[in-house]
Copies of this chain bind each other. A is one copy, B any other.
Amino acid sequence: MEKKFSQLRRKYEEVAALGSAASVLGWDQRVYMPPKGAEARGRALAALEETLHVKFTAPETGALIAELYDWAQARGGDSFEAAYLRALKRDYDKAVKLPAAFVSEFSLACTAAYEAWHKAKQASDFSVFAPHLEKMLQLNLRKAAILDPKAAPYDALLDIYEPGMTRARLDAIFAELLAGLKPVIKAIAAKSGKVSDAPFRGDFDPAAQLRLADELVKALGFDFDRGRQDRSPHPFTTGGSINDIRITTRAHADWLPACVYASIHECGHALYELGSPQDFEFTPLAGGASLGMHESQSRFWENVVGRSRPFAAWALPLYRKHFPGKFDNLTPEDLYRAANKSAPSLVRVEADEVTYNLHIALRYEIETMLLDGSLKVKDAPAMWNSRMKDYLGIAPANDAEGILQDVHWSQGTLGYFPTYTLGNLAAAQLFNAMKRDLGDTDALVARGEFAPLLAWLGGKIHVHGRKYLPEELLQRAIGEKLSVGPFVDYIKAKYSEIYGF
Protein backbone atom coordinates (compact mmCIF):
# COMPACT_ATOMS: atom_id res chain seq x y z
CA MET A 1 0.00 0.00 0.00
CA GLU A 2 2.89 2.35 0.79
CA LYS A 3 4.03 1.85 -2.79
CA LYS A 4 0.59 2.70 -4.14
CA PHE A 5 0.50 5.76 -1.94
CA SER A 6 3.82 6.91 -3.40
CA GLN A 7 2.37 6.33 -6.85
CA LEU A 8 -0.65 8.45 -6.00
CA ARG A 9 1.57 11.17 -4.58
CA ARG A 10 3.66 11.28 -7.76
CA LYS A 11 0.53 11.58 -9.85
CA TYR A 12 -0.80 14.37 -7.70
CA GLU A 13 2.54 16.19 -7.73
CA GLU A 14 2.32 16.57 -11.49
CA VAL A 15 -1.12 18.08 -11.13
CA ALA A 16 0.02 20.38 -8.35
CA ALA A 17 2.99 21.48 -10.44
CA LEU A 18 0.66 22.47 -13.27
CA GLY A 19 -1.54 24.25 -10.74
CA SER A 20 1.52 26.10 -9.56
CA ALA A 21 2.17 27.18 -13.15
CA ALA A 22 -1.42 28.38 -13.52
CA SER A 23 -1.11 30.43 -10.32
CA VAL A 24 2.01 32.19 -11.51
CA LEU A 25 0.42 32.91 -14.89
CA GLY A 26 -2.62 34.33 -13.12
CA TRP A 27 -0.40 36.49 -10.96
CA ASP A 28 1.51 37.76 -13.98
CA GLN A 29 -1.75 38.45 -15.82
CA ARG A 30 -2.83 40.82 -13.08
CA VAL A 31 0.53 42.35 -12.21
CA TYR A 32 2.97 42.60 -15.12
CA MET A 33 1.45 41.29 -18.37
CA PRO A 34 1.41 43.84 -21.20
CA PRO A 35 -2.19 44.66 -22.19
CA LYS A 36 -2.13 43.10 -25.64
CA GLY A 37 -0.93 39.80 -24.21
CA ALA A 38 -4.36 39.23 -22.70
CA GLU A 39 -5.89 37.13 -25.43
CA ALA A 40 -3.01 34.68 -25.69
CA ARG A 41 -2.81 34.47 -21.90
CA GLY A 42 -6.46 33.51 -21.77
CA ARG A 43 -5.83 30.71 -24.23
CA ALA A 44 -2.72 29.58 -22.37
CA LEU A 45 -4.50 29.47 -19.04
CA ALA A 46 -7.49 27.64 -20.48
CA ALA A 47 -5.21 25.03 -22.07
CA LEU A 48 -3.28 24.66 -18.85
CA GLU A 49 -6.39 24.27 -16.75
CA GLU A 50 -7.93 21.79 -19.13
CA THR A 51 -4.74 19.73 -19.14
CA LEU A 52 -4.58 19.90 -15.37
CA HIS A 53 -8.18 18.85 -15.08
CA VAL A 54 -7.75 15.89 -17.41
CA LYS A 55 -4.67 14.76 -15.50
CA PHE A 56 -6.28 15.24 -12.10
CA THR A 57 -9.43 13.37 -12.98
CA ALA A 58 -7.67 10.42 -14.61
CA PRO A 59 -9.51 7.20 -13.71
CA GLU A 60 -6.29 5.69 -12.30
CA THR A 61 -6.26 8.44 -9.69
CA GLY A 62 -9.82 7.59 -8.71
CA ALA A 63 -8.90 3.91 -8.52
CA LEU A 64 -5.91 4.63 -6.29
CA ILE A 65 -8.01 6.81 -4.00
CA ALA A 66 -10.61 4.05 -3.69
CA GLU A 67 -7.91 1.48 -2.96
CA LEU A 68 -6.05 3.59 -0.43
CA TYR A 69 -8.81 5.41 1.41
CA ASP A 70 -9.57 2.90 4.14
CA TRP A 71 -5.91 1.94 4.56
CA ALA A 72 -5.08 5.61 5.14
CA GLN A 73 -7.90 6.24 7.60
CA ALA A 74 -6.82 3.14 9.55
CA ARG A 75 -3.51 4.88 10.21
CA GLY A 76 -5.38 7.33 12.42
CA GLY A 77 -7.63 10.19 11.38
CA ASP A 78 -4.97 12.78 12.12
CA SER A 79 -2.19 11.00 10.24
CA PHE A 80 -0.68 12.55 7.14
CA GLU A 81 -1.95 9.67 5.03
CA ALA A 82 -5.53 9.87 6.32
CA ALA A 83 -5.70 13.62 5.87
CA TYR A 84 -4.06 13.39 2.44
CA LEU A 85 -6.66 10.92 1.23
CA ARG A 86 -9.57 12.85 2.73
CA ALA A 87 -8.52 16.14 1.14
CA LEU A 88 -7.73 14.53 -2.17
CA LYS A 89 -10.97 12.56 -2.30
CA ARG A 90 -12.95 15.73 -1.60
CA ASP A 91 -11.23 17.56 -4.45
CA TYR A 92 -11.31 14.60 -6.78
CA ASP A 93 -14.98 13.86 -6.27
CA LYS A 94 -15.80 17.44 -7.19
CA ALA A 95 -13.41 17.68 -10.13
CA VAL A 96 -14.27 14.35 -11.69
CA LYS A 97 -17.82 15.51 -12.18
CA LEU A 98 -16.75 18.48 -14.33
CA PRO A 99 -16.10 17.63 -17.99
CA ALA A 100 -12.74 18.94 -19.29
CA ALA A 101 -14.49 20.90 -22.03
CA PHE A 102 -16.58 22.66 -19.39
CA VAL A 103 -13.48 23.56 -17.39
CA SER A 104 -11.82 25.03 -20.46
CA GLU A 105 -14.97 26.92 -21.47
CA PHE A 106 -15.25 28.29 -17.96
CA SER A 107 -11.63 29.40 -17.93
CA LEU A 108 -11.87 31.13 -21.32
CA ALA A 109 -15.10 32.84 -20.31
CA CYS A 110 -13.44 34.08 -17.13
CA THR A 111 -10.56 35.62 -19.03
CA ALA A 112 -12.99 37.41 -21.35
CA ALA A 113 -15.15 38.46 -18.40
CA TYR A 114 -12.17 39.80 -16.49
CA GLU A 115 -11.09 41.95 -19.44
CA ALA A 116 -14.66 43.17 -19.94
CA TRP A 117 -15.06 43.92 -16.24
CA HIS A 118 -11.82 45.90 -16.29
CA LYS A 119 -13.01 47.96 -19.26
CA ALA A 120 -16.51 48.33 -17.83
CA LYS A 121 -15.16 49.55 -14.51
CA GLN A 122 -12.85 52.06 -16.16
CA ALA A 123 -15.69 53.38 -18.29
CA SER A 124 -18.20 52.91 -15.45
CA ASP A 125 -20.46 51.17 -17.94
CA PHE A 126 -22.28 48.09 -16.65
CA SER A 127 -23.56 47.24 -20.14
CA VAL A 128 -20.02 46.25 -21.15
CA PHE A 129 -19.90 43.69 -18.35
CA ALA A 130 -23.56 42.60 -18.31
CA PRO A 131 -23.34 39.89 -21.02
CA HIS A 132 -20.29 38.46 -19.28
CA LEU A 133 -22.03 38.42 -15.91
CA GLU A 134 -24.94 36.65 -17.59
CA LYS A 135 -22.48 34.13 -19.01
CA MET A 136 -20.89 33.69 -15.57
CA LEU A 137 -24.31 33.16 -14.07
CA GLN A 138 -25.25 30.51 -16.63
CA LEU A 139 -21.89 28.76 -16.29
CA ASN A 140 -22.22 28.74 -12.51
CA LEU A 141 -25.74 27.33 -12.72
CA ARG A 142 -24.40 24.57 -14.96
CA LYS A 143 -21.52 24.01 -12.59
CA ALA A 144 -23.83 23.82 -9.58
CA ALA A 145 -26.08 21.32 -11.37
CA ILE A 146 -23.06 19.20 -12.25
CA LEU A 147 -21.57 19.29 -8.76
CA ASP A 148 -24.69 18.63 -6.78
CA PRO A 149 -27.90 18.25 -8.78
CA LYS A 150 -29.94 17.69 -5.63
CA ALA A 151 -28.81 20.86 -3.86
CA ALA A 152 -29.97 24.40 -4.48
CA PRO A 153 -27.47 26.04 -6.86
CA TYR A 154 -26.23 28.47 -4.22
CA ASP A 155 -25.48 25.69 -1.76
CA ALA A 156 -23.63 23.69 -4.39
CA LEU A 157 -21.41 26.67 -5.22
CA LEU A 158 -20.89 27.75 -1.62
CA ASP A 159 -19.56 24.30 -0.84
CA ILE A 160 -16.61 24.93 -3.20
CA TYR A 161 -15.42 27.84 -1.11
CA GLU A 162 -16.72 26.95 2.34
CA PRO A 163 -17.26 23.21 2.67
CA GLY A 164 -20.17 22.42 4.96
CA MET A 165 -21.77 25.86 4.82
CA THR A 166 -25.33 26.35 3.52
CA ARG A 167 -27.55 29.22 2.50
CA ALA A 168 -29.93 28.42 5.34
CA ARG A 169 -27.17 28.90 7.90
CA LEU A 170 -25.89 32.01 6.17
CA ASP A 171 -29.37 33.55 6.22
CA ALA A 172 -29.44 33.04 9.98
CA ILE A 173 -25.90 34.34 10.43
CA PHE A 174 -26.55 37.50 8.45
CA ALA A 175 -29.84 38.11 10.24
CA GLU A 176 -28.19 37.91 13.66
CA LEU A 177 -25.19 39.93 12.49
CA LEU A 178 -27.19 42.75 10.94
CA ALA A 179 -29.39 42.91 13.99
CA GLY A 180 -26.27 43.30 16.11
CA LEU A 181 -24.54 45.85 13.87
CA LYS A 182 -27.36 48.16 12.88
CA PRO A 183 -27.68 49.76 16.34
CA VAL A 184 -23.90 50.31 16.40
CA ILE A 185 -24.00 52.00 13.01
CA LYS A 186 -26.84 54.22 14.22
CA ALA A 187 -24.98 55.13 17.40
CA ILE A 188 -21.86 55.99 15.42
CA ALA A 189 -23.87 58.12 12.97
CA ALA A 190 -25.12 60.19 15.90
CA LYS A 191 -21.50 60.92 16.89
CA SER A 192 -19.96 61.02 13.45
CA GLY A 193 -17.93 64.14 14.14
CA LYS A 194 -15.97 62.48 16.95
CA VAL A 195 -13.40 60.71 14.77
CA SER A 196 -11.33 62.16 11.94
CA ASP A 197 -9.28 60.27 9.39
CA ALA A 198 -7.59 63.48 8.26
CA PRO A 199 -4.11 62.13 9.16
CA PHE A 200 -4.49 59.56 6.39
CA ARG A 201 -5.63 62.05 3.76
CA GLY A 202 -3.17 64.17 1.84
CA ASP A 203 -0.41 63.55 -0.61
CA PHE A 204 1.47 60.29 -0.13
CA ASP A 205 4.10 59.22 -2.66
CA PRO A 206 3.01 55.75 -3.87
CA ALA A 207 6.61 54.51 -3.94
CA ALA A 208 7.01 55.47 -0.26
CA GLN A 209 3.69 53.74 0.50
CA LEU A 210 5.05 50.55 -1.02
CA ARG A 211 8.23 50.84 1.03
CA LEU A 212 6.16 51.30 4.18
CA ALA A 213 3.99 48.34 3.21
CA ASP A 214 7.07 46.16 2.69
CA GLU A 215 8.39 47.10 6.11
CA LEU A 216 5.03 46.46 7.79
CA VAL A 217 4.52 42.98 6.35
CA LYS A 218 8.12 42.06 7.04
CA ALA A 219 7.59 42.97 10.69
CA LEU A 220 4.44 40.83 10.79
CA GLY A 221 6.48 37.85 9.61
CA PHE A 222 6.23 37.86 5.82
CA ASP A 223 9.43 36.31 4.47
CA PHE A 224 10.64 38.01 1.28
CA ASP A 225 12.81 35.02 0.50
CA ARG A 226 9.58 33.04 0.19
CA GLY A 227 7.38 35.64 -1.42
CA ARG A 228 7.04 39.10 -2.87
CA GLN A 229 4.79 42.12 -2.78
CA ASP A 230 3.77 44.08 -5.88
CA ARG A 231 1.12 46.57 -6.92
CA SER A 232 -2.10 45.62 -8.68
CA PRO A 233 -5.45 47.38 -9.09
CA HIS A 234 -7.20 44.72 -6.98
CA PRO A 235 -5.03 43.32 -4.19
CA PHE A 236 -4.76 39.56 -3.95
CA THR A 237 -2.62 36.70 -2.67
CA THR A 238 -1.51 33.76 -4.75
CA GLY A 239 1.29 31.30 -4.83
CA GLY A 240 3.20 28.86 -6.95
CA SER A 241 4.49 26.93 -3.94
CA ILE A 242 4.39 27.12 -0.17
CA ASN A 243 7.78 28.78 -0.60
CA ASP A 244 6.58 31.30 -3.20
CA ILE A 245 3.56 33.19 -1.92
CA ARG A 246 2.87 36.55 -3.50
CA ILE A 247 0.79 39.42 -2.27
CA THR A 248 -0.22 42.61 -4.01
CA THR A 249 -1.40 45.92 -2.73
CA ARG A 250 -2.57 49.17 -4.23
CA ALA A 251 -1.63 52.78 -3.54
CA HIS A 252 -3.89 55.80 -3.69
CA ALA A 253 -1.81 58.96 -3.67
CA ASP A 254 -4.41 60.77 -1.55
CA TRP A 255 -5.46 58.09 0.96
CA LEU A 256 -2.90 56.02 2.78
CA PRO A 257 -5.02 53.20 4.31
CA ALA A 258 -5.82 51.75 0.88
CA CYS A 259 -2.21 50.61 0.64
CA VAL A 260 -1.41 49.91 4.29
CA TYR A 261 -4.46 47.81 5.08
CA ALA A 262 -4.63 45.97 1.77
CA SER A 263 -1.04 45.02 2.37
CA ILE A 264 -1.62 43.80 5.94
CA HIS A 265 -4.75 41.97 4.82
CA GLU A 266 -3.02 40.09 2.02
CA CYS A 267 -0.09 39.44 4.34
CA GLY A 268 -2.53 37.66 6.64
CA HIS A 269 -3.52 35.36 3.80
CA ALA A 270 0.12 34.84 2.91
CA LEU A 271 1.14 33.95 6.48
CA TYR A 272 -1.50 31.22 6.45
CA GLU A 273 -0.16 29.76 3.20
CA LEU A 274 3.46 30.14 4.31
CA GLY A 275 2.58 28.30 7.51
CA SER A 276 1.90 24.99 5.78
CA PRO A 277 4.50 22.41 6.82
CA GLN A 278 7.18 21.81 4.17
CA ASP A 279 6.04 18.24 3.60
CA PHE A 280 2.66 19.57 2.43
CA GLU A 281 4.34 21.00 -0.71
CA PHE A 282 2.55 19.81 -3.86
CA THR A 283 0.07 17.78 -1.80
CA PRO A 284 -3.67 18.43 -1.41
CA LEU A 285 -2.91 19.43 2.19
CA ALA A 286 -1.08 22.67 1.35
CA GLY A 287 -2.99 25.91 1.83
CA GLY A 288 -6.02 26.87 3.87
CA ALA A 289 -9.05 24.96 5.13
CA SER A 290 -11.52 27.24 3.38
CA LEU A 291 -11.91 30.77 2.15
CA GLY A 292 -13.65 31.70 5.38
CA MET A 293 -10.79 30.36 7.47
CA HIS A 294 -8.40 32.19 5.17
CA GLU A 295 -10.28 35.40 5.67
CA SER A 296 -10.15 34.93 9.42
CA GLN A 297 -6.39 35.21 9.11
CA SER A 298 -6.34 38.24 6.79
CA ARG A 299 -8.92 40.10 8.86
CA PHE A 300 -7.22 39.18 12.10
CA TRP A 301 -4.03 40.90 11.01
CA GLU A 302 -5.75 43.73 9.19
CA ASN A 303 -8.28 44.68 11.83
CA VAL A 304 -7.81 42.94 15.13
CA VAL A 305 -4.08 43.68 15.09
CA GLY A 306 -3.59 46.36 12.43
CA ARG A 307 -6.39 48.61 13.65
CA SER A 308 -5.63 48.16 17.34
CA ARG A 309 -4.41 50.85 19.73
CA PRO A 310 -1.03 49.19 20.44
CA PHE A 311 -0.42 48.74 16.73
CA ALA A 312 -0.85 52.47 16.19
CA ALA A 313 1.74 53.12 18.88
CA TRP A 314 4.18 50.71 17.26
CA ALA A 315 3.56 51.85 13.68
CA LEU A 316 3.71 55.63 14.20
CA PRO A 317 7.53 55.79 13.96
CA LEU A 318 7.33 53.88 10.66
CA TYR A 319 4.79 56.33 9.28
CA ARG A 320 7.10 59.14 10.32
CA LYS A 321 10.09 57.46 8.70
CA HIS A 322 8.43 56.93 5.33
CA PHE A 323 6.57 60.24 5.23
CA PRO A 324 8.88 62.75 6.85
CA GLY A 325 7.01 65.66 8.41
CA LYS A 326 3.54 64.29 7.80
CA PHE A 327 3.06 62.48 11.11
CA ASP A 328 5.24 64.59 13.38
CA ASN A 329 2.45 66.23 15.32
CA LEU A 330 0.28 63.17 15.69
CA THR A 331 -0.04 60.95 18.74
CA PRO A 332 -0.56 57.17 18.63
CA GLU A 333 -4.11 57.90 19.78
CA ASP A 334 -4.69 60.15 16.75
CA LEU A 335 -3.47 57.36 14.49
CA TYR A 336 -5.61 54.77 16.27
CA ARG A 337 -8.74 56.87 15.92
CA ALA A 338 -7.98 57.76 12.28
CA ALA A 339 -7.61 54.07 11.47
CA ASN A 340 -11.01 53.36 12.99
CA LYS A 341 -13.23 56.03 11.59
CA SER A 342 -16.51 54.35 10.78
CA ALA A 343 -18.96 55.77 8.29
CA PRO A 344 -21.17 54.50 5.50
CA SER A 345 -19.10 54.27 2.32
CA LEU A 346 -19.50 52.90 -1.18
CA VAL A 347 -16.51 50.66 -1.67
CA ARG A 348 -16.21 47.37 0.18
CA VAL A 349 -12.45 47.14 0.25
CA GLU A 350 -12.27 50.54 1.88
CA ALA A 351 -15.12 49.99 4.33
CA ASP A 352 -14.48 50.05 8.05
CA GLU A 353 -14.96 47.02 10.30
CA VAL A 354 -18.44 48.01 11.38
CA THR A 355 -20.04 48.57 8.00
CA TYR A 356 -18.00 45.99 6.09
CA ASN A 357 -20.35 43.08 6.62
CA LEU A 358 -23.28 45.06 5.29
CA HIS A 359 -21.41 45.29 2.00
CA ILE A 360 -21.13 41.52 2.12
CA ALA A 361 -24.78 41.02 3.00
CA LEU A 362 -25.72 43.08 -0.05
CA ARG A 363 -23.58 40.99 -2.38
CA TYR A 364 -24.76 37.77 -0.79
CA GLU A 365 -28.36 38.75 -1.37
CA ILE A 366 -27.78 39.77 -4.97
CA GLU A 367 -25.90 36.54 -5.71
CA THR A 368 -28.62 34.39 -4.23
CA MET A 369 -31.29 36.29 -6.16
CA LEU A 370 -29.38 36.01 -9.44
CA LEU A 371 -28.93 32.29 -8.90
CA ASP A 372 -32.48 31.52 -7.87
CA GLY A 373 -33.79 33.56 -10.80
CA SER A 374 -35.57 36.20 -8.77
CA LEU A 375 -33.28 38.93 -10.13
CA LYS A 376 -32.22 39.52 -13.76
CA VAL A 377 -28.69 40.64 -14.58
CA LYS A 378 -30.00 43.80 -16.19
CA ASP A 379 -31.78 44.75 -12.98
CA ALA A 380 -28.81 44.00 -10.74
CA PRO A 381 -27.32 47.55 -10.71
CA ALA A 382 -30.63 49.06 -9.60
CA MET A 383 -30.97 46.40 -6.91
CA TRP A 384 -27.42 47.09 -5.78
CA ASN A 385 -28.08 50.80 -5.49
CA SER A 386 -31.36 50.42 -3.63
CA ARG A 387 -29.88 47.96 -1.11
CA MET A 388 -26.97 50.33 -0.51
CA LYS A 389 -29.51 53.00 0.27
CA ASP A 390 -31.39 50.63 2.62
CA TYR A 391 -28.33 49.38 4.48
CA LEU A 392 -26.03 52.35 4.54
CA GLY A 393 -28.17 55.29 3.51
CA ILE A 394 -26.01 56.15 0.52
CA ALA A 395 -26.06 55.27 -3.17
CA PRO A 396 -23.24 55.09 -5.72
CA ALA A 397 -23.10 57.87 -8.30
CA ASN A 398 -22.10 55.34 -10.93
CA ASP A 399 -21.58 51.61 -11.47
CA ALA A 400 -17.80 51.82 -11.10
CA GLU A 401 -18.27 52.59 -7.42
CA GLY A 402 -21.35 50.37 -7.32
CA ILE A 403 -21.85 46.95 -8.80
CA LEU A 404 -18.65 47.02 -10.87
CA GLN A 405 -16.31 47.59 -7.94
CA ASP A 406 -15.36 43.97 -7.25
CA VAL A 407 -13.44 41.57 -9.45
CA HIS A 408 -15.01 38.35 -8.11
CA TRP A 409 -17.94 37.79 -10.43
CA SER A 410 -15.71 38.44 -13.44
CA GLN A 411 -13.58 35.54 -12.27
CA GLY A 412 -16.53 33.22 -12.22
CA THR A 413 -16.83 33.07 -8.45
CA LEU A 414 -20.39 33.26 -7.18
CA GLY A 415 -20.93 32.07 -3.63
CA TYR A 416 -17.58 33.43 -2.52
CA PHE A 417 -18.49 36.75 -0.87
CA PRO A 418 -20.07 35.39 2.33
CA THR A 419 -16.75 33.80 3.26
CA TYR A 420 -15.50 37.31 4.05
CA THR A 421 -18.08 37.61 6.78
CA LEU A 422 -17.37 34.12 8.08
CA GLY A 423 -13.75 35.15 8.37
CA ASN A 424 -14.61 38.26 10.37
CA LEU A 425 -16.61 36.16 12.80
CA ALA A 426 -13.88 33.55 13.23
CA ALA A 427 -11.19 36.21 13.67
CA ALA A 428 -12.99 37.58 16.72
CA GLN A 429 -13.31 34.09 18.20
CA LEU A 430 -9.65 33.32 17.55
CA PHE A 431 -8.60 36.59 19.16
CA ASN A 432 -10.49 35.78 22.35
CA ALA A 433 -8.88 32.36 22.53
CA MET A 434 -5.45 33.79 21.77
CA LYS A 435 -5.75 36.25 24.66
CA ARG A 436 -6.73 33.42 26.97
CA ASP A 437 -3.52 31.61 25.98
CA LEU A 438 -1.06 34.46 25.55
CA GLY A 439 -2.30 36.95 28.07
CA ASP A 440 -1.56 40.57 27.24
CA THR A 441 -1.22 40.57 23.46
CA ASP A 442 -1.52 44.38 23.51
CA ALA A 443 1.88 44.66 25.14
CA LEU A 444 3.38 42.38 22.50
CA VAL A 445 1.85 44.34 19.63
CA ALA A 446 2.93 47.65 21.12
CA ARG A 447 6.53 46.39 21.05
CA GLY A 448 6.20 45.05 17.50
CA GLU A 449 6.56 41.50 18.80
CA PHE A 450 4.23 39.79 16.41
CA ALA A 451 6.01 36.45 16.42
CA PRO A 452 4.09 34.97 19.41
CA LEU A 453 0.78 35.84 17.74
CA LEU A 454 1.90 34.28 14.48
CA ALA A 455 3.22 31.22 16.29
CA TRP A 456 -0.12 30.80 18.08
CA LEU A 457 -2.04 30.98 14.81
CA GLY A 458 0.57 28.77 13.20
CA GLY A 459 0.18 26.04 15.78
CA LYS A 460 -3.60 26.23 16.02
CA ILE A 461 -4.49 26.81 12.36
CA HIS A 462 -1.68 27.10 9.79
CA VAL A 463 0.15 23.90 10.60
CA HIS A 464 -2.93 21.89 9.71
CA GLY A 465 -3.19 23.23 6.17
CA ARG A 466 -6.20 21.57 4.58
CA LYS A 467 -6.22 18.59 6.92
CA TYR A 468 -9.60 19.44 8.47
CA LEU A 469 -12.81 21.05 7.28
CA PRO A 470 -13.13 24.61 8.54
CA GLU A 471 -15.58 23.99 11.34
CA GLU A 472 -13.70 20.97 12.59
CA LEU A 473 -10.50 23.00 12.50
CA LEU A 474 -12.05 25.79 14.55
CA GLN A 475 -13.41 23.28 17.01
CA ARG A 476 -9.99 21.67 17.40
CA ALA A 477 -8.23 25.02 17.65
CA ILE A 478 -10.40 26.75 20.21
CA GLY A 479 -13.17 24.32 21.16
CA GLU A 480 -15.93 26.47 19.71
CA LYS A 481 -18.38 26.45 16.84
CA LEU A 482 -18.54 29.45 14.53
CA SER A 483 -20.74 32.12 16.14
CA VAL A 484 -21.80 35.72 15.63
CA GLY A 485 -21.70 36.92 19.23
CA PRO A 486 -17.94 37.41 19.77
CA PHE A 487 -17.61 39.58 16.67
CA VAL A 488 -20.57 41.79 17.61
CA ASP A 489 -19.24 42.08 21.17
CA TYR A 490 -15.80 43.03 19.82
CA ILE A 491 -17.30 45.71 17.58
CA LYS A 492 -19.54 47.09 20.33
CA ALA A 493 -16.74 47.28 22.88
CA LYS A 494 -14.25 48.84 20.50
CA TYR A 495 -16.48 51.41 18.87
CA SER A 496 -18.47 52.47 21.92
CA GLU A 497 -15.12 53.33 23.49
CA ILE A 498 -13.88 55.22 20.42
CA TYR A 499 -17.11 57.09 19.72
CA GLY A 500 -18.28 57.37 23.32
CA PHE A 501 -21.74 55.91 23.28
Contacts and interface: CB of A to CB of B under 8 A. Distances in A.
A48 B55 CA distance: 12
A48 B225 contact: no
Interface in A294-351: none
A43 B43 CA distance: 23
B228 A34 contact: yes
B282 A37 contact: no
A41 interface: yes
A81 interface: no
Contact of A44 (B21, B36, B37): B21
Contact of A224 (B34, B45, B47, B282): B34
Contacts of A47: 13-14, 17-18, 21
B241 A40 contact: yes
A483 B42 CA distance: 43
A36 B282 contact: no
10 A-B pairs with least C-beta separation: A37-B244, A40-B241, A17-B47, A36-B243, A17-B44, A20-B44, A36-B226, A14-B47, A36-B225, A21-B44
Contact of A37 (B32, B45, B240): B240
Given A17-B46, A21-B45, A28-B28, 20 more contacts: A14-B51, A20-B41, A20-B43, A21-B21, A21-B25, A21-B47, A21-B48, A24-B25, A24-B28, A24-B44, A32-B230, A34-B225, A35-B225, A36-B223, A36-B243, A37-B243, A37-B244, A39-B243, A40-B240, A40-B243
B240 A18 contact: no
B13 A244 contact: no
A285 to B, nearest CB: 15
A228 B32 CA distance: 8
Nearest to A35: B225
A447 B370 CA distance: 60
A274 to B, nearest CB: 10
A175 interface: no
A330 B492 CA distance: 70
A199 to B, nearest CB: 30
Contacts of A22: 21
Contacts of A14: 47, 50-51
Contacts of A20: 40-41, 43-44
Contacts of A242: 40
Contacts of A243: 34, 36-37, 39-40
Nearest to A32: B228
